[in-house]
Structure 1
Amino acid sequence: MNEQKGCIKCGSTRANKKEVAMTGTGLSKMFDVQNNQFIVVYCEDCGYSEFYNKKSSGASNIMDLFFG
């Protein structure tokens, strides 16, 4: 099994994360209610990004999920 460490696009180990909120569909979109919260982990070199649902991520280390 080939274990890959780092960004799957460029191999960099420089990553960062930020929290974002987005609207859903229907009334939440019409009234701009941002009830969907995510953690975005992104590569600082090439910009590749992965979104993780903030509610389901719990105490797990998101950076470990990104880097394998």
Structure 2
Amino acid sequence: MTKKQYHCEKCGCLEYTADQIQATGGDFSKLFNVQNKKFTTISCKECGFTELYRNETSTGMNVLDFLMGG
């Protein structure tokens, strides 16, 4: 697999920053504040345009998150 070079769709910049966010999804997880949705963010360093990519979360981490209080 080759590494694809980043190119911002909005301004054409070639530099980015990557980060992760977590969010709740569904009624049960909202009720108990379990953040069972995980996303990687790719943000353009020039204009800030950000794309989200969904990641898989493990059941064990979801249970641990619930037990630790979200």
| 1:66 match | none
CA distance in 2, matches of 1:50, 1:30: 27
Residue 8 in structure 1 maps to residue 9 in structure 2: yes
Matched residue SS, 1:28: helix
CA distance in 1, matches of 2:40, 2:7: 18
Unaligned runs of 5+ in 1: 56-68
**Alignment TM-score, normalising by the size of structure 2:** 0.66
| Runs of 4+ off more than 2 Å | none
Of structures 1 and 2, the larger Rg is shown by 2
Unaligned runs of 5+ in 2: 1-5, 57-70
CA distance in 2, matches of 1:11, 1:25: 36
Matched residue SS, 2:30: helix
C-alpha displacement at 1:30, in angstroms? Answer: 1.5
Asked which structure has the greater RCO (Cα within 8 Å, sep 6+), the reply is: 1
Q: Percent identity?
A: 35
Structure 1: which amino acid aligns with 2:25?
Answer: G
CA distance in 1, matches of 2:37, 2:9: 26
Residue-pair matches, total: 51
CA distance in 2, matches of 1:29, 1:50: 24
Residue 29 in structure 1 maps to residue 6 in structure 2: no
